[in-house]
């Protein structure tokens, strides 16, 4: 199957710091999605990207669809304790009708 390489695997940061995480693939995707998952819950969509080069913000979150369509990044500015959780990237391939997920970035924020 398609491989999405998500990094870093985990991060420990101080409240107020900015955070950056990314996903890369050897395949071209039609859509990139970023999710956050809290313990015991299902993933919740944060940002969806549909066009190469697209830069989209959702509050303190900003994500970009890479120009090559093989990568995406998510930035969180001025982190707060409630940002703690696992962040997943996902890519959608129209030809296969499938979503593929990265292995997640676990974010820890120290108050």
Partner 1 sequence: NAGVTQTPKFQVLKTGQSMTLQCAQDMNHEYMSWYRQDPGMGLRLIHYSVGAGITDQGEVPNGYNVSRSTTEDFPLRLLSAAPSQTSVYFCASSSLRTLDRADTQYFGPGTRLTVL
Chain residues in the site for partner 1 (CB under 8 A): 1, 6, 30-31, 33, 35, 40-45, 48, 50, 88, 90, 92, 94, 97-104
DSSP assigned state of 96: G
If the CB atoms of residues 34 and 73 are measured against partner 1, the closer one turns out to be 34
- Stretch (H or E) spanning 99: strand 98-101
Shortest distance in whole angstroms from residue 14 CB to partner 1 = 25
d(CA 35, CA 4): 14
Shortest distance in whole angstroms from residue 50 CB to partner 1 = 5
If the CB atoms of residues 11 and 90 are measured against partner 1, the closer one turns out to be 90
If the CB atoms of residues 50 and 108 are measured against partner 1, the closer one turns out to be 50
Strand-pairing partners, residue 72, are: 23, 65
If the CB atoms of residues 29 and 73 are measured against partner 1, the closer one turns out to be 29
Whether the Cβ atoms of residue 80 and residue 18 lie closer than 8 Å to each other: no
d(CA 27, CA 61): 25
């Amino acid at each position: 199957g398609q491989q999405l390489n998500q990094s870093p695997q985990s991060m420990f940061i101080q409240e107020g710091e900015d955070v950056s995480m990314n996903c890369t693939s050897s395949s071209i995707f039609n859509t990139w999605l970023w999710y956050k998952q809290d313990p015991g819950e299902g993933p919740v969509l944060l940002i969806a990207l549909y066009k190469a080069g697209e830069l989209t913000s959702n509050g303190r979150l900003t994500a970009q669809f890479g120009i090559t369509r093989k990568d995406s990044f998510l930035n969180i500015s001025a982190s707060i304790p409630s940002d703690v959780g696992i962040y997943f990237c996902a890519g959608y391939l129209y030809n296969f009708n499938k979503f593929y997920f990265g292995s997640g970035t676990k974010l820890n924020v120290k108050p």
